[in-house]
């Protein structure tokens, strides 16, 4: 809508006309969430709702880096159990170890990191065991 409001025309009627025209042209037919309830509509008012949504949407962390790396390692290890090959497991463990090394090198504020690199062989043993148990079921 690049059209400007005509002079002398009330805002309310002009805006309403724009909305009705858009409805006739089907502009609202394919909106995300159409026909679904608005999330959080019944929740009590939270003045920081937008900050929480931003953190969630952008996957930001408010944890110190030492705690964040621990959480990321846990999430990555859960992902490892579903991988199909040993090569993929080794690649993921190498990626985890690179992140641990980076966190150990760069953490300046907050609690110190106490994580050491993961042993790929012991994780592979656990992965094989997990895989054999899930294949038997």
Residue 24 reports pLDDT greater than 90: yes
Domain holding 115, by residue range, is 65-136
Whether 78 and 124 map to the same domain: the answer is: yes
Q: Could you give the dihedral angle defined by the CA atoms of residues 118, 120, 121 and 122, in that order, rounded to the nearest 10 degrees?
A: 40
137 has pLDDT over 70: no
Q: Are residues 50 and 70 in the same domain?
A: no
Does residue 3 lie within any of the structural domains? no
- State the chain's mean pLDDT as an integer: 86
Count of structural domains within the chain: 2
- Same domain for 74 and 46, yes or no, is no
How far apart, in whole angstroms, are the C-alpha atoms of residue 103 and residue 25? Answer: 53
* Average pLDDT of span 33-43: 85
Quick check: is 126 in a domain? yes
**81 and 50 share a domain?**
no
Residue 4 in any domain: the answer is no
Please report whether residue 5 resides in a domain. Answer: no
Residue 41 resides in a domain: yes
pLDDT reported for residue 30 = 87
What was the pLDDT predicted at 59?
Answer: 80
- Is residue 81 domain-resident? yes
Kindly tell me if the per-residue pLDDT of 133 is higher than 80. Answer: yes
Distance CA 13, CA 37 (A): 28
CB atoms within 10 A of CB 100: 19
Checking if the pLDDT of 107 tops 80, the result is no
Identify whether residues 37 and 75 lie together within a single domain.
no
Question: Does the residue 7 lie in any domain?
Answer: no
Give yes or no: residues 48 and 110 share one domain: no
Q: From CA 99, how far away is CA 104, in angstroms rounded? A: 9
The CA distance from 73 to 54, in Å, is 23
Residue 44 included in any domain? yes
What own/partner pairs with CB < 8 Å and gap ≥ 24 does 100-104 have?
100/69, 100/73, 103/65, 103/66, 103/69
């Amino acid at each position: 809508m690049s059209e400007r409001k005509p002079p002398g025309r009330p805002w309310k009627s002009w805006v309403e006309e724009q909305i009705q025209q858009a409805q006739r042209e089907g502009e609202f037919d394919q909106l995300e969430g159409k026909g679904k309830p608005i999330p959080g509509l019944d929740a009590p008012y939270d003045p920081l709702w937008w900050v929480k949504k931003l953190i969630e949407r952008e996957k930001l962390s408010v944890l110190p880096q030492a705690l964040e790396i621990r959480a990321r390692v846990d999430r990555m290890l859960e992902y490892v159990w579903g991988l199909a090959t040993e090569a993929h497991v080794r690649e993921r463990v190498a990626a985890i170890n690179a992140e641990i090394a980076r966190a150990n090198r760069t953490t300046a504020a907050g609690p110190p990191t106490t994580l050491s690199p993961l042993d790929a062989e012991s994780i592979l043993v656990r992965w094989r065991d997990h895989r054999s148990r899930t294949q038997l079921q």
